[in-house]
Structure 1
Amino acid sequence: MKVFITGASSGIGEAIAHEYAQRYKNENIIIGLVSRRSEHLQKLKIALESNHRTTCAVYALDVRDNQALAQAAADFIQQQGVPDVVIASAGVSSGTLTEKQEDIAAFQAVMDINVMGMVHTFQPFINAMRNAGKGQLVGIASVAGVRGLPGAGAYSASKAATIAYLESLRVEMSHHNIAVTTIAPGYIRTPMTAINTYRMPFLMDADVAAHKFVNAIENKRRFVVIPWQMGWVARLMRLIPPVLWDLLAKNAPHKPRIDVEQ
């Protein structure tokens, strides 16, 4: 089993890496770990390789850098072979307000990392997967992409874009026997949600979520919301007329505005 994961140094990406290492502890598994934070990746590599049947390849880079990702993908394929699964988990979140000129940079960063970072992650693996006649691309979206949330215009827009992008990609890749899975989490206990000051319904620990994510990946689910309760919330959100949505969301709490480059 060979898996390549972006956003691996913390949160969902790190939990997925641990889940794969644990799940395949009696088999040889190779995990590509990508993140901006080299020191976190090295610690994760040591932890995962404590199981001597796990091998980690570490790539410290920013997913906004398509050339760096292309080089990492080429190195992984040359050294380890074509991955069975590529997981685009890198993402950032910040409260944003269009009225604030200083938030323009945050809008740009959120869109570049959450949307273009996913494109940069998948693109260099597709030809190799197509030649191999198999593979799976997995994108981490969010329930926040179902409807626009006040104070989170950049994040909601980026996740709506990833949902639509992954749907397009899924149809395109079906011609090449490459599966595409969209995972839309609700609230997962990670550093990203730790800054939220409001109640988060159905909050799930990252390790529990990662177990469910990998189950969905192995079952080649096309689109899945986790936890299941948020799936029903998402269905209801889609059905609410705009005038009613505006009334319901008008006084909703806003996500804190932070520096996404931290």
Structure 2
Amino acid sequence: MAHPPAPLLFVTGASSGIGQALAARHAQAGHRLALVARRVDEMQAWASSQGLGPERCRVYGADVADIDSTVAAGQRCLAEMGLPDVVLASAGQSIGMDTAEREDLDVMAHTFALNNVGTAAAFHPFLAGMRARGSGTLVGVASVAAIRGLPGHGAYCASKAGVVAYCESLRGELRGSGVKVVTIVPGYVATPLTQHNSYAMPFLMTPEAFADQAFKAIAEQTSYRVIPWQMGVAAKLLRLLPNPLFDRLLSGRGRKKRLREQAAATPPAP
């Protein structure tokens, strides 16, 4: 008697950071993996280093900021690996912006295309099949930066607040279908997204420690989980502060580096 295939995880942003850490955690639990990102060679090299052959893992190159590219990756996954059990939309960017600078409006547009529309595009190819099957888990990755706007972080904070609201809307739409929506809200995780930060990052986690907690929340189909919980408490306290006090508290706080500043801070490849 043939055994059913192992559960399948489809994950965007799989070439580094949170996406890669969660891919590793799901592989450890026996899942098959469909890895999606632009950096195909890096994903292939990582899969090989983990001992994941084509029967366990396939790589799909896609620009998650491009709708058609992302949808096409999902359709290839359906054709080659089947309908996923978990879809994890973790591709994203965090770049500082100054609204007075014209080039930063383009940064904002790309941030929304990747962090927001890219999340919906990752889910889209699988919704009909999951509804018909009556099961599946869609996971959106937000941030505690969604809870209050931080100076210099306008694009990122707004996009992650959008992820929270979008996932909440989708959860209501799918109520009773058997398809669950999970919103993961990370605090500070030591990834390429945070390596340029010039300010204090309380409760900083390793990607592996974060992935352990997020994996549990996804497996339990928890609707909303802040990781670590201490950041959830801190963020809610900030939410309660009156605006004048909040503004005073953040006065002089370091800002996220803008695109040019991040490029200047990154050493050239050897």
For Structure 1 versus Structure 2, the TM-score category normalised by the shorter chain is: over 0.9
1:9 matches 2:15: yes
What is the percentage of aligned positions where both structures have the same residue? 43
- Give the secondary-structure state (helix, strand or coil) at the position aligned to 1:191: coil
Deviation of 1:123 (Å):
1.1
What residue number does 1:59 align with?
60
TM-score (norm 1): 0.94
Deviation of 1:52 (Å):
6.1
The equivalences for 1:21-100 within 5 A come to: 21-24=27-30, 29-48=31-50, 50=51, 55-100=56-101
CA distance in 1, matches of 2:155, 2:236: 22
TM-score (norm 2): 0.91
CA distance in 2, matches of 1:65, 1:54: 28
Residues 144-196 of structure 1: CA distance to partner in whole angstroms, max 9, x if unpaired? 01000000100000001111111111111113111000001000000111111
RMSD of aligned Cα (Å): 1.7
Q: Which amino acid aligns with 1:153?
A: G
Q: Which amino acid aligns with 2:20?
A: E
CA distance in 2, matches of 1:9, 1:81: 22
- Determine if contact 1:196/1:256 at 8 Å carries over to the other structure: yes
Q: Which amino acid aligns with 1:213?
A: A
Deviation of 1:76 (Å):
1.3
What residue number does 1:258 align with?
259
Residues 59-115 of structure 1: CA distance to partner in whole angstroms, max 9, x if unpaired? 111012222222221221222221100000000011101111221111111111101
- Structure 2 vs 1, CA of residues 102 and 69 (structure 1 numbering), >3 Å: closer, same or farther? closer
- Give the secondary-structure state (helix, strand or coil) at the position aligned to 1:147: coil
What residue number does 1:221 align with?
222
Q: Which amino acid aligns with 1:200?
A: M
- Determine if contact 1:190/1:206 at 8 Å carries over to the other structure: yes
- Determine if contact 1:31/1:54 at 8 Å carries over to the other structure: no
Paired residue total: 257
- Where in structure 2 are there 5+ consecutive unaligned residues? 1-6
Q: Which amino acid aligns with 1:45?
A: A
- Structure 2 vs 1, CA of residues 75 and 99 (structure 1 numbering), >3 Å: closer, same or farther? same
- Where in structure 1 are there 5+ consecutive unaligned residues? none
Deviation of 1:47 (Å):
2.3
- Determine if contact 1:21/1:54 at 8 Å carries over to the other structure: no
CA distance in 1, matches of 2:187, 2:28: 24
What residue number does 2:4 align with?
none
CA distance in 1, matches of 2:113, 2:171: 21
What residue number does 1:106 align with?
107
- Structure 2 vs 1, CA of residues 54 and 209 (structure 1 numbering), >3 Å: closer, same or farther? farther
